[in-house]
């Protein structure tokens, strides 16, 4: 990772924090910081992505603004994180998308929706697009299965490849070595799955002021697990169709529908809750220039779940054709932009937690 104003500012603050050590038990960042006396740009990137932005250190810090030291670690590490997303993006020419992230996410979503709707209206007659469809294969009567699979697999495959390459770039640059021991893997997995560090020092995050709350942790968990339940719904649907020979749409109480419904509701609650927190949070420890990217990604996740649930509820009505095209357009947009959006913070934060678990000497 190249040096920058944000990286240099983070180094300055870490020297102060290492001398003070008041926040030593607040989260994983400070013990990891204290294991170093000098900080490479890769070290700063690692620590920035290890930070979960709980903001407890900002309100506890005696050197926070208006003190002349002006230590505002959450804001500075947020800027370093945002820079790291562009630094590690693959392929490299697309890294510039991070610079106008909120706009890119919105434009890609609009373009994807418009493209799928246009194809649906051009390829199908109004009677098929706007007519009611029931029974097995009704989705494919509107949009052919081959078209769904080819576009979906192509965009999803590219997204997976780009995310994997970005993760590799981050791991190499931050000094991560081979993860051969099982204990650090389990420790990191526990931290990822429980979002333990969003609990700060155990009391929760400081969303608005010095008062603690677990609300951000719970809404993040709702979005996190909702997303993976929706992914599990898609995987089980593929198993139903291509292994068991059951053609969608599936019954209401089938595994794909149950997983998708619970996951979609979790994503709605999580995305709406996190957006609400951002509108009410204290702007002082935030990097305000990157809030647009946050809102854009949350909106896209919310739309992915909302259109899916609407499609489920109205799949036997004349609205099904348009809703199917709309939902597929949103999903297509999501696949296209996730390697170049804040979505990658989950991968880099997981890698940072793995490196931290490897470095820790306590059992």
pLDDT in tens, 14-65: 999 999 999 888 889 999 999 988 899 999 999 999 999 999 999 999 999 9
Confidence check: pLDDT of 178 > 80 = no
Burial (CB count within 10 angstroms: exposed 0-12, middle 13-18, buried 19+), residue 40: middle
Q: Which helix (H) or strand (E) element contains residue 115?
A: helix 101-123
**Does the pLDDT of residue 193 top 70, yes or no?**
yes
Cα separation of 115 and 309, whole Å? Answer: 21
Average pLDDT for 140-145: 86
Give the pLDDT confidence score for residue 363 in this predicted structure: 47
The angle subtended at Cα 345 by Cα 58 and Cα 206, nearest 5°, is: 25
pLDDT for residue 361:
61
Q: Reply yes or no: is the peptide bond before residue 249 cis, omega within 30 of 0.
A: yes
Write the pLDDT tens digit of every residue in 127-139: 777 777 778 888 8
* N- to C-terminal Cα separation, the chain: 31
Name the residue ranges covered by the structural domains of the chain. Answer: 5-87, 92-359
Mean pLDDT computed over every residue of the chain: 89
Residue tagged 């809750």 (tokens): 273
3-state secondary structure of 213: strand
Residue 107, pLDDT > 50, answer: yes
Cα–Cα distance for residue pair 118/97, rounded to 1 Å: 25
Distance CA 358, CA 363 (A): 11
**Which of the 8 DSSP states describes residue 207?**
S
Average pLDDT estimate for 109-114: 76
Question: Rounded to whole angstroms, how far apart are CA atoms 194 and 173?
Answer: 26
Q: Are 53 and 204 in contact (CB under 8 A)?
A: no
Q: Where are the beta strands (DSSP E) in the chain?
A: none
Q: Give the rounded percent of residues in the chain with a pLDDT score beyond 70.
A: 96
Q: pLDDT digits over 199-210, tens only? A: 766 688 988 888
Phi, psi (rounded to 5 degrees) for 282: -65, 125
Separation between Cα atoms, residue 58 and residue 65, nearest integer Å: 9
As a dihedral over the C-alpha atoms of residue 35, residue 15, residue 196, residue 287, rounded to 10 degrees, the angle is: -150
> What pTM, to 2 d.p., does this model score?
0.91
Rounded mean pLDDT of 296-311? Answer: 94
Query: Which residue(s) pair with 213 in the sheet?
Result: 205
What are the pLDDT digits (tens) for 262-284?
A: 999 999 999 999 999 999 999 99
Q: Which of 199-203, 231-235, 323-327, 355-359 has the lowest mean pLDDT?
A: 199-203
Residue 101: band (very low, low, confident or very high) from pLDDT cuts 50, 70, 90: low
Q: Which residues contact 106 (CB under 8 A, 6 or more apart)?
A: 296, 299
* N residues, the chain: 363
Q: Which residue has the higher pLDDT, 101 or 331?
A: 331
Peptide bond connecting 70 to the previous residue in cis, omega within 30 degrees of 0: no
- The whole-angstrom distance between residue 294's C-alpha and the CA centroid of its chain comes to 9
CA distances from 229 to 158, 190, 242, 260 (A): 22, 18, 20, 6
């Amino acid at each position: 990772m190249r040096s920058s104003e944000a990286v240099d500012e983070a180094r300055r603050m870490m020297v102060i924090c290492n001398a003070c050590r008041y926040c030593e038990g607040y989260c994983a960042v400070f013990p990891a910081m204290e294991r170093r006396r000098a900080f490479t740009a890769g070290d700063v990137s690692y620590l920035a992505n290890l930070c979960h932005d709980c903001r407890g250190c900002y309100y506890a810090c005696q050197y926070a603004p208006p003190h002349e030291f002006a230590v505002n670690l959450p804001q500075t590490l947020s800027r370093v994180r945002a820079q790291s997303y562009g630094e590690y993006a693959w392929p490299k020419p697309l890294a510039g998308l991070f610079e106008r992230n909120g706009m890119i996410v919105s434009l890609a979503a609009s373009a994807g929706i418009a493209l799928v709707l246009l194809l649906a209206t051009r390829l199908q007659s109004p009677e098929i697009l706007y007519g009611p469809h029931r029974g097995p294969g009704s989705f494919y009567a509107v949009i052919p299965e081959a078209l769904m699979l080819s576009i979906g697999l192509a965009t999803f495959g590219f997204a997976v490849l780009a995310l994997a390459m970005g993760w590799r770039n981050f791991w190499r640059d931050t000094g991560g070595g081979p993860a051969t021991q099982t204990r650090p893997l389990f420790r990191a997995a526990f931290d990822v799955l429980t979002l333990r560090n969003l609990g700060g020092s155990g009391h929760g995050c400081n969303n608005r002021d010095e008062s603690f709350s677990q609300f951000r942790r719970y809404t993040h968990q709702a979005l996190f697990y909702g997303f993976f339940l929706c992914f599990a719904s898609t995987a089980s649907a593929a198993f139903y169709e291509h292994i068991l020979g059951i053609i969608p749409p599936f019954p209401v109480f089938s595994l794909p529908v149950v997983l998708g419904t619970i996951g979609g509701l979790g994503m709605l609650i999580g995305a709406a809750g996190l957006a609400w927190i951002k509108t009410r949070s204290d702007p002082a420890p935030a990097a305000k220039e990157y809030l647009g990217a946050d809102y854009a990604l949350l909106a896209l996740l919310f739309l992915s779940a909302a259109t899916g649930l609407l499609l489920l509820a109205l799949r036997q009505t004349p609205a099904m054709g348009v809703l199917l095209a709309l939902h597929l357009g949103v999903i297509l947009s999501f696949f296209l932009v996730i390697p170049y959006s804040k979505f990658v913070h989950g991968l880099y934060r997981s890698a940072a937690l793995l490196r931290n678990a490897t470095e820790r000497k306590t059992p």
